[in-house]
Amino acid sequence: MAAPVNSVGKTSADRLQANCTSFQKKTRSKLISIPGTRPSVQNGQLLVSTGVTSLDYLLGGGLAVGTVLLIEEDRFDSYSRMILKYFLAEGVVCRHELFVATAQDNPDEILQELPAPILDDVAAPKPVEQPRLTGEPQDTLDAMKIAWRYQNLPKVQSALASSSRFGHYYDVSKTMEAEIRQAAKCHRFYLPDHITPSSAAHRVESYSALLKSLQEVIHREGFDLATPMSKSRNILRVGLHSLGSALWGDDLCCHDKPRHSHALTTFLYGLRALLRSSLSVAVVTLPSHLIQDRALMGNITRLCDNAIALESFKGSERETNPLYKDYHGLLYVRQVPHLNSLARQLPDHKDLAFKLKRKQFTIEEGMQIVSFIPLTTIMMMTVVSVNSEGIHSNVLPLQDLMAAYISEKMLCRGSDLLALPVFVPARMAELSGLWGWGGDFEMGPGTDTKVVTGTGDEFQKLYRKKKKKRYGLTSAEQHNRQKHVSVSSTSTKVCLITF
Amino acid sequence: MFSELNSILNISPDSFTRGEFILVSDRQSDASFLIHHFLSFYLRARCKVCFLGLVQSFCHYSAVSQRLGVSLTQAKEKGQLVFFEGLKECLSVLTPKENNVESEAMNFLRDPTVGLRSLYEFVRSSVIGSGSLEEGAEQWGPSVLLVDDLSVLLSLGVDVGAVLDFSHYCRALVCSQMQGNMVMLVRCNGEEDDDDDGDVVSEVLLKGLTHQCNLSLHVQGLPTGYCKDIHGQMEVCWKTRQGDTPHLQKNLFQYKVYDKGASFFARGTSSAVL
């Protein structure tokens, strides 16, 4: 269970028997709140921030407590590691406890690389400045003349206030100061400390050792939901780095048909069991590009709740592609959970691109794939086509027709990239002229024929403008007018037909 | 309980065919909303339900059932529902402690070659179980077994033959012997015609179970891609016998899942399109 916030209306018998809600309220009015968390607006789940605000938005407001976020690593593990660091840094700022497990680098190395938070005042463990009372003498400059009612409020924003905010920003060029970092309690699990790599037990035991260690920490520090609600509760943030890699004793990345393929999946099952019964959140990174078995990746994804995959442009040909010059990589949302409800919060667009700036990790709709209209209806179209010699010919071949129909539908929605069904050969994409976007914009000479190779947005803007000037009609009426655009089979221009 | 689905399947809480094995399967999609439907349906029909919830916690099912109008905690108290929470039981096996008793039913986690015999024993004891009724205990209808889901057992290392055996034993017990119903969820990963490096194991399981079942609900995404308004398509396949001849009837619907239910409609008649 990802902890629901309120248990109003449940009888005490229910509460005792169910023993699953973490917030058994003593009185109805009192709502126990943990700093750094907030209830979801959709279904009342308790959410924590991942440290990246745009990722929070993608996940439906934040990461639900009791769930796992799986990050499929990019090729050099740069951005997935960055997100893991954001996640841990957010935990430090919110005063949550951390649990970091690695097999490759020492957890301390990751902790030392955490980005510095951008706060109005640093949440340092210094005593908060004494708020000035009205009785004390103040400088005339500081005295408020107009907003004098606010004179009495403490001038210094206390550390608690800053950490009660949801989601912070971090400066990647600086690392977090040691004082702030040491204020947070951190549990480490470094695999070579627990199991020697050469031992026979290494292969199978590393995951179970991790699971046992995690359970022990949860139980000892009181994150278990079963423990009575005596003291204030906190969240445990679990960061597991590069699970499934060979250093964890797994041969998932080494063989096509791994022998112990269920070791990792059993661990993920146990991890889900642990998280659902405690106040913790986990972020797991996995080098999925090394795993050849796609079915196994499907199983792993299903055992985690949220799953995203990162693909960075570094080192690939896309790095120099002007198309992608603004972005550092692509982000795929593989899975979104439905917790305590039937419907899941699906993202609007499934193909996104990310950009790591100094102060922000942004995720944007780099390429907008339009939701595809199932081609269940067939429209009869008559088309006029003009090729480069200016000869009209009736009835384009069916392929061109389809390309035209599709491109028209897409363009009028202002989309950028065309998603073609697989049965349409690539030639159609070429014909429709939208395949390499960022192309030129050409206008036919003085007629109402327009030859377009631009992006959807540009075309739409220009098209609307031109149409308005020429005909003086509203855009709705113009849309209903029949119009045709020339197509030439030799060059890659788009053919646009509407009815 | 989704009323549209009830009318599609021609069932209602008052009248439904007994002794049926309903297979719910999905391919690169999530058909668990159908399990929630059947859970609330059979609880409303006053059947004695044994639910193996292997992938989610009790609170999740309880919260969803609340929205569908059924209270799982009450059903558990009254003895109508036997709920097996796989997540909770697995910890006793995966992280054993000295004084804690290991859960017998999940002992396949320790050694997958053991198979699912203990899990079957658990099902048997809960379905047959109350031979001696206590005073004042209510009389429930036929027994129903719901499994969510069977494919996770494959992920945990159990052999596909053992899973097929388990389903066969359960069917013999629940459907034939007790004249109750059984609903199982199977999830597949790859494409249907992907032979080489696809997920052979779950295809084998799916084919084996499709052969055994009476009614199959297969959920997929739209073949033309992701759509926010239509969540996918569902294929309903009945296997009936009319006289001596077996009869296969298939029907295809598209669906959209809402917060409190799901709506099913014929292809192309979605409210987003019309």
Cβ separation of B222 and A374 shorter than 8 Å?
A: yes
Give the 3-state secondary structure of chain A. Answer: CCCECCCCCCCHHHHHHHCCCCCCCCCCCCCCCCCCEEECCCCCEEEECCCCHHHHHHCCCCEECCCEEEEECCCCCCHHHHHHHHHHHHHHHCCCEEEEEECCCCHHHHHHCCEEEECCCCCCCCCCCCCCCCCCCCCCCCCCCCCHHHHHCCCCCCHHHHHCCCCCEEEEEEECCHHHHHHCCEEEEEHHHHCCCCCCCHHHHHHHHHHHHHHHHHHHHCCECCCCCCCCCCCEEEEECCCCCHHHCCCCCCCCCCCCCHHHHHHHHHHHHHHHCECEEEEEEECHHHCCCHHHHHHHHHHCCEEEEEEECCCCHHHHCHHHCCCCEEEEEEECCCCCCCCCCCCCCCEEEEEECCCCEEEECCCCECCCCCCCCCCCCCCEEECCCCCEEECCCHHHHHHHHHHHHHHCCCCCECCCCCCCCHHHHHHHCCCCCCCCECCCCCCCCCCECCCHHHHHHHHHHHHHHHHCCCHHHHHHCCEECCCCCCCCCCCCEEC
Q: Judged by CB atoms within 8 Å, which residues 99-138 of B form the interface with A?
A: 109, 112
pLDDT at A402: 53
For residue A164, pLDDT over 70 is answered with no
Task: Kindly state whether B83 is in contact with chain A, defined as any CB-CB distance less than 8 angstroms.
Answer: no
Confidence label for A45 from pLDDT (cuts 50, 70 and 90)? confident
Domain ranges of chain B: 3-129+140-191+200-229
User: What distance in Å separates residue A381's CA from the closest CA in chain B?
Assistant: 20
pLDDT at A326: 78
Residue with the bigger pLDDT between A448 and A364: it is A364
Query: Are the C-beta atoms of A55 and A13 separated by less than 8 Å?
Result: no
Q: Which CATH code, of 3.40.50.300, 3.30.70.3270, 3.20.20.140, 1.20.1250.20, is assigned to B3-129+140-191+200-229?
A: 3.40.50.300
pLDDT at A327: 84
User: What distance in Å separates residue B242's CA from the closest CA in chain A?
Assistant: 33
Confidence label for A73 from pLDDT (cuts 50, 70 and 90)? very high
Q: Which residues face A97 on adjacent strands?
A: A236
Structure-token pair, residue A348:
């609007």
pLDDT at B22: 94
Question: pTM to 2 decimals?
Answer: 0.75
pLDDT at A406: 53
The answer to whether residue A474 sits within a structural domain is no
For residue A15, pLDDT over 60 is answered with no
CB-CB: which of B62, B189, B268 is closest to A376? B268
As a whole number of angstroms, the distance between CA B52 and CA B29 comes to 21
Helix (H), strand (E) at residue B187: strand B181-188
CB count in 10 Å sphere of residue A173: 9
Average pLDDT over every residue of A258-272: 86
As a whole number of angstroms, the distance between CA B60 and CA B262 comes to 18
Residue B130's Cβ-count burial label (10 Å; 0-12, 13-18, 19+) is: middle
User: What distance in Å separates residue A492's CA from the closest CA in chain B?
Assistant: 25
Mutate to test the interface with B, among A205, A216, A266 (most CBs of B within 10 A): A266
Helix (H), strand (E) at residue B89: helix B86-94
Mean pLDDT, chain A, integer: 67
User: What distance in Å separates residue A258's CA from the closest CA in chain B?
Assistant: 12
pLDDT at A201: 55
Q: What is the pLDDT of residues A389-440, one digit of tens each?
A: 333 333 334 445 555 555 555 444 433 333 333 223 333 334 444 333 222 2
For residue A381, pLDDT over 70 is answered with no
Between A73-82, A89-98, A275-284, B94-103, the lowest mean confidence (pLDDT) is in B94-103
Query: Are the C-beta atoms of B68 and B261 separated by less than 8 Å?
Result: yes
Residue with the bigger pLDDT between A416 and A129: it is A129
Mutate to test the interface with B, among A371, A378, A405, A415 (most CBs of B within 10 A): A371
The answer to whether residue A193 sits within a structural domain is yes
Scanning every residue of chain B, which has its alpha carbon at the shortest distance from the alpha carbon of A4?
A: B59
pLDDT at B104: 79
Task: Kindly state whether B187 is in contact with chain A, defined as any CB-CB distance less than 8 angstroms.
Answer: yes
As a whole number of angstroms, the distance between CA A138 and CA A155 comes to 12
Confidence label for A307 from pLDDT (cuts 50, 70 and 90)? very high
Q: In Å, what is the CA distance from A18 to each residue of A219, B7, B79?
A: 19, 34, 15
Scanning every residue of chain B, which has its alpha carbon at the shortest distance from the alpha carbon of A422?
A: B224
Between A49-58, A423-432, A470-479, B213-222, the lowest mean confidence (pLDDT) is in A423-432
CB-CB: which of B67, B157, B187 is closest to A342? B67
User: What distance in Å separates residue B267's CA from the closest CA in chain A?
Assistant: 8
CB-CB: which of B95, B223, B268 is closest to A215? B95
- State the total domains in chain A: 1
The answer to whether residue A384 sits within a structural domain is no
pLDDT at B49: 93
User: What distance in Å separates residue B222's CA from the closest CA in chain A?
Assistant: 8
Task: Kindly state whether B191 is in contact with chain A, defined as any CB-CB distance less than 8 angstroms.
Answer: no
Q: In Å, what is the CA distance from A323 to each residue of A54, A319, A355, A371, A435?
A: 22, 9, 14, 22, 12
pLDDT at A144: 60
CB-CB: which of B94, B227, B258 is closest to A371? B227
Cβ separation of B189 and A369 shorter than 8 Å?
A: no
Nearest to B151 by CA among B25, B65, B6: B25
Task: Kindly state whether B94 is in contact with chain A, defined as any CB-CB distance less than 8 angstroms.
Answer: yes
pLDDT at A428: 38
The answer to whether residue A5 sits within a structural domain is no
Nearest to B27 by CA among B185, B187, B147: B187
Cβ separation of A341 and B67 shorter than 8 Å?
A: yes
For residue A110, what are the domain limits? 65-119+170-365
Average pLDDT over every residue of A176-199: 83
Task: Kindly state whether B233 is in contact with chain A, defined as any CB-CB distance less than 8 angstroms.
Answer: no
As a whole number of angstroms, the distance between CA B129 and CA A29 comes to 44
For residue A347, pLDDT over 50 is answered with yes
Confidence label for A200 from pLDDT (cuts 50, 70 and 90)? low
pLDDT at B193: 63
pLDDT at A132: 46
Q: What is the pLDDT of residues A310-331, one digit of tens each?
A: 988 888 877 777 767 778 888 8
Confidence label for A488 from pLDDT (cuts 50, 70 and 90)? very low
User: What distance in Å separates residue B177's CA from the closest CA in chain A?
Assistant: 33
Task: Kindly state whether B12 is in contact with chain A, defined as any CB-CB distance less than 8 angstroms.
Answer: no
Tokens 């680098």, residue located: A105
pLDDT at A148: 65
Residue with the bigger pLDDT between A427 and A100: it is A100
User: What distance in Å separates residue B110's CA from the closest CA in chain A?
Assistant: 10
Residue with the bigger pLDDT between A337 and A484: it is A337
Average pLDDT over every residue of A12-28: 40
Mutate to test the interface with A, among B155, B229, B255 (most CBs of A within 10 A): B155
pLDDT at B270: 74
The CATH number assigned to the domain holding A220 equals 3.40.50.300
The answer to whether residue A57 sits within a structural domain is no
pLDDT at A433: 41
For residue A454, pLDDT over 50 is answered with no
Average pLDDT over every residue of A5-26: 41
pLDDT at B207: 92
Residue with the bigger pLDDT between A135 and B87: it is B87
pLDDT at B12: 87
- One digit per residue, the tens of pLDDT, for chain B of length 274 reads 888 888 888 888 888 888 999 999 998 888 999 999 999 999 999 999 999 999 999 999 999 999 999 999 999 999 899 999 999 888 888 888 777 777 778 888 888 788 889 999 999 998 886 554 555 556 788 899 999 889 999 988 899 999 999 999 999 999 999 999 999 999 988 776 655 666 788 889 999 999 989 999 999 988 777 777 888 889 999 987 777 777 888 999 989 998 888 899 888 777 766 6
pLDDT at B134: 54
Q: In chain B, which residues have their Cβ closer than 8 Å to the Cβ of A272?
A: 87
For residue A167, pLDDT over 90 is answered with no
Cβ separation of A295 and B77 shorter than 8 Å?
A: no
Q: In chain B, which residues have their Cβ closer than 8 Å to the Cβ of A46?
A: none
Cβ separation of A373 and B229 shorter than 8 Å?
A: no
Structure-token pair, residue B49:
């339900």
